């Protein structure tokens, strides 16, 4: 066969091999298909049962003897992503952290906090801190003082004393015996700064008050344009949780 004939025959064979990407190349479907690696995540998806029996979904970060429940704010668009960076930082620092998607009925959100705390206890956590922002703070405090859930610390960020079905008075919180961090933007647009100062008065024996120079609300401060303000709040919260982890356990 002439050289021209051999080239024509080879071209015909290549055209017939429809599954081959190039003549003489390997078939990408031959054998095992190369899989793209799944995106890395810093958490495990979990399910837990709230105190009223509802099933909730959340994210579990890290591991450690001290665990933190982070409850998010209740405005449209708020969710557990608001706590994502802080949860990752805590996990890197040796804490176990649980965030979750809150329910629409804000007045019942304390049931989620209680269920999340119990879930962490069942998983082996020796200490659990109930922490939250805005409605998450209010739900955390309500679960601490009005349920049988065993909490070892409370982190209240920009909660208010009377809103969304929650109402706190001095008599409700005067018996708290565990460490409490009360934080807010001093000029919080919802008035949380003033309520933080009042709550601190009622719990002066066990609480610490941190007011930062911001009019933003709750976790919005953590993305404050003024980096020093965000760092101040971040540092105050991580320092508080570190002290809870290191000190002998106290039950609220």
Q: How far apart are CA 172 and CA 190, in angstroms?
A: 22
Mean pLDDT of the chain: 87
Counting residues of the chain whose pLDDT is more than 70, the rounded percentage is: 84
Q: Is the pTM of this model over 0.75?
A: yes
- What pLDDT score does 224 carry? 76
Superfamily, domain 43-246: Alpha/Beta hydrolase fold, catalytic domain (3.40.50.1820)
- What pLDDT score does 20 carry? 35
Over residues 35-52, the pLDDT tens digits come to 434 446 799 999 999 999
Residue 3 in this model has a pLDDT that exceeds 90: no
- What pLDDT score does 31 carry? 37
Using alpha carbons, select from 215, 208, 223 the residue that is nearest to residue 186. Answer: 215
204, 124 Cβ separation under 8 angstroms: no
Give CA separation, 224 vs 63, 179, 180, 197, 219, in Å: 29, 27, 24, 22, 9
Residue 196 in this model has a pLDDT that exceeds 90: yes
Alpha carbons within 13 angstroms on the beta-carbon side of residue 70 total 28
159, 180 Cβ separation under 8 angstroms: no
Q: Report which listed range, 31-35, 39-43, 64-68, is most confident.
A: 64-68
Domain ranges of the chain: 1-33, 43-246
Residue 94 in this model has a pLDDT that exceeds 80: yes
- Rounded to the nearest 5°, which phi and psi values hold at 23? -60, 130
Q: Give the residue-averaged pLDDT of 156-176.
A: 97
Instruction: Output DSSP code: residue 49.
Output: E
Over residues 97-111, the pLDDT tens digits come to 999 999 999 999 999
Name residues whose C-beta falls within 8 Å of residue 176's C-beta, 6 or more positions apart in sequence: 144, 145, 154, 203, 206, 252
Over residues 68-87, the pLDDT tens digits come to 999 999 999 999 999 999 99
Q: Which stretches of 85-227 are assigned E, i.e. beta strand?
A: 96-100, 127-133, 153-157, 162-163, 166-167, 180-185, 207-212
Residue linked to tokens 């040796």: 94
- What pLDDT score does 103 carry? 95
- What pLDDT score does 9 carry? 41
Residue 247 in this model has a pLDDT that exceeds 60: yes
């Amino acid at each position: 066969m002439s050289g021209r004939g051999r080239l024509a025959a080879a071209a015909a064979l290549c055209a017939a091999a429809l599954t081959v990407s190039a003549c003489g190349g390997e078939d990408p479907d031959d054998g095992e298909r190369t899989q793209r690696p799944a995106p890395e995540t810093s958490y495990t998806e979990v399910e837990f049962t709230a105190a009223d029996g509802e099933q909730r979904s959340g994210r579990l970060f890290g591991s450690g003897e001290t665990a933190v429940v982070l409850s998010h704010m209740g405005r449209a668009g708020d969710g557990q992503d608001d706590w994502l960076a802080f949860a990752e930082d805590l996990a890197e620092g040796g804490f176990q952290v649980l965030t979750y998607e809150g329910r629409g009925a804000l007045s019942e959100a304390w049931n989620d906090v209680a269920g999340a705390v119990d879930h962490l206890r069942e998983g082996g956590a020796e200490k659990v801190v109930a922490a939250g922002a805005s409605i998450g703070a209010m739900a955390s405090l309500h679960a601490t003082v009005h349920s049988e859930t065993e909490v070892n610390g409370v982190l209240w960020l920009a909660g208010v004393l009377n809103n969304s079905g929650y109402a706190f008075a001095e008599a409700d919180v005067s018996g708290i015996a565990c460490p409490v961090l009360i934080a807010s933007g001093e000029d919080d647009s919802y008035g949380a700064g003033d309520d933080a100062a009042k709550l601190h008065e009622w719990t002066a024996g066990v609480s610490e008050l941190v007011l930062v120079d911001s009019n933003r609300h709750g976790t919005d401060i953590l993305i404050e344009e003024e980096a020093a303000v965000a760092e101040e709040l971040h540092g105050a919260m991580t320092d508080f949780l570190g002290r809870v982890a290191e000190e002998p356990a106290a039950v609220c």
